[in-house]
């Protein structure tokens, strides 16, 4: 609630969410598909503070489903019981509900619509990620991705916003002092771990955690690397052939070129990469200066040409 509270709200480990109320199961089973989460579920799960403090980890686990975010998410046309098939007739929901075992690939294997996201590659690289190698099956897709708000197509104008969104997912756990097992990465520890990195907060605003903590291979997008395996060489990025261009920025540059054309996208590229002027204002100023200089030269030449012609006469 209050932004000041030191307790980060975490997604539950699994689809431990039990978004239905008394009698709603029967009711929903009979109801046609809805474009929003069922009102019966939202009555409780719409409460923004619905949740509990986990006894093992001490973290506050939110059971809130934001109906607005859901209705614009990729899953908006699914009703609650499409995924949550356990018994919800009881309140509080029975323990069986909490053990509900859901995975993205349960639904999305061989899904043609999602072919371009190569979910099998995602699954494989995820299995190699430090999250899985350290925490095993306890770590699921939903520890990072909120299926109730998941919106792959969400477009952000500014790279900085994409970075903010992406890093928020990581910081949700890695900045929390409450999360057991992550205690060594509590805020100060996170800073200590990145103490070697100059301008750490500037990096955090412009570069995704993933840019250093995943391998360069696009097929390994979900293979999160541990600190010791992550990228540490400054020159990897701060070079003409920046490693950043293998990831988000490559995508952005491509997008930008389609949208603005090659020349514009190159000139007005607002990505922050050493070696080029990536300040929009400076870019514009230098283009303006360049154009002004050309104009002046042209004017001067024209004037001289006219003067010469007059004199010749």
Q: Which is nearer to other proteins, 52 or 290 (CB)?
A: 52
* Nearest partner of 219 among 114, 124, 107, judged by Cα: 124
60 phi and psi angles, rounded to 5 deg: -85, 120
- Name which position in 29, 35, 47, 297 contacts other proteins (CB under 8 A): 47
Query: Of the ranges 45-53, 71-79, 138-146, 148-156, which one interacts with other proteins (CB under 8 A)?
Result: 45-53
Kindly state the tokens that stand for 213.
């903590």
Q: Which is nearer to other proteins, 1 or 263 (CB)?
A: 1
Kindly state the tokens that stand for 272.
């922050």
Residues in contact with 62: Cβ distance below 8 Å, sequence separation at least 6, in sequence order: 9, 10, 11, 12, 49, 50, 51
* Nearest partner of 246 among 258, 237, 235, 255, judged by Cα: 237
- Name which position in 2, 198, 235, 312 contacts other proteins (CB under 8 A): 2
- Name which position in 5, 30, 32, 309 contacts other proteins (CB under 8 A): 5
The minimum distance between CB 141 and other proteins, in angstroms, equals: 23
The minimum distance between CB 175 and other proteins, in angstroms, equals: 16
Handedness of CA 59, 64, 69, 73 (dihedral sign): positive
* Nearest partner of 222 among 284, 130, 299, 148, judged by Cα: 130
Kindly state the tokens that stand for 80.
């609650």
Distance CA 122, CA 128 (A): 10
Does the protein bind other proteins through residue 87 (CB under 8 A)?
A: no
Does the protein bind other proteins through residue 52 (CB under 8 A)?
A: yes
The minimum distance between CB 199 and other proteins, in angstroms, equals: 22
The minimum distance between CB 195 and other proteins, in angstroms, equals: 21
**Size of the residue set binding other proteins (CB under 8 A):** 25
Does the protein bind other proteins through residue 13 (CB under 8 A)?
A: no
Q: Which of residues 88-147 bind other proteins (CB under 8 A)?
A: 89-92
Does the protein bind other proteins through residue 188 (CB under 8 A)?
A: no
Tokens 């799960």, residue located: 45
Contact residues toward other proteins (CB under 8 A) are 1-2, 4-5, 7, 9, 21-23, 43-44, 47-53, 60-61, 63, 89-92
């Amino acid at each position: 609630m209050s932004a000041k509270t030191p307790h980060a709200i975490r997604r539950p480990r699994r689809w431990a969410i039990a978004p239905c109320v008394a009698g709603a199961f029967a009711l929903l089973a009979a109801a046609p598909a809805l474009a929003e989460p069922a009102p019966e579920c939202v009555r409780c799960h719409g409460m923004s503070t619905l949740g509990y403090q986990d006894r093992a980890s001490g973290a506050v686990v939110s059971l809130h489903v934001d109906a607005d975010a859901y209705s614009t998410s990729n899953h908006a046309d699914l009703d609650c019981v499409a995924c949550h098939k356990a018994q919800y007739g009881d309140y509080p929901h029975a323990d069986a509900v909490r053990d509900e075992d859901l995975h993205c690939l349960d639904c999305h294997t061989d899904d043609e619509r999602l072919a371009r996201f190569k979910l099998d590659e995602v699954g494989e690289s995820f299995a190699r990620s430090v999250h899985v190698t350290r925490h095993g099956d306890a770590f699921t897709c939903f520890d990072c991705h909120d299926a109730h708000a998941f919106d792959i197509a969400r477009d952000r104008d500014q790279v900085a916003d994409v970075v903010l969104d992406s890093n928020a997912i990581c910081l949700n756990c890695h900045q929390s002092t409450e999360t057991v097992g992550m205690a060594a990465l509590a805020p100060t520890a996170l800073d200590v771990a990145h103490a070697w990195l100059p301008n750490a907060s500037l990096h955090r605003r412009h570069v995704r955690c993933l840019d250093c903590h995943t391998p360069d291979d696009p097929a390994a997008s979900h293979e999160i690397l541990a600190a010791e395996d992550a990228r540490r060489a400054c020159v990897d990025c701060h070079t003409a052939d920046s490693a950043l261009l293998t990831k988000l920025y490559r995508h952005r540059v491509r997008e930008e070129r389609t949208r603005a054309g090659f020349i514009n996208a190159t000139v007005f590229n607002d990505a922050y990469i050493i070696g080029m002027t990536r300040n929009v204002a400076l870019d514009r100023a230098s283009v303006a200066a360049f154009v002004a200089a050309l104009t002046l030269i042209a004017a001067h030449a024209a004037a001289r040409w006219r003067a010469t012609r007059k004199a010749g006469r």
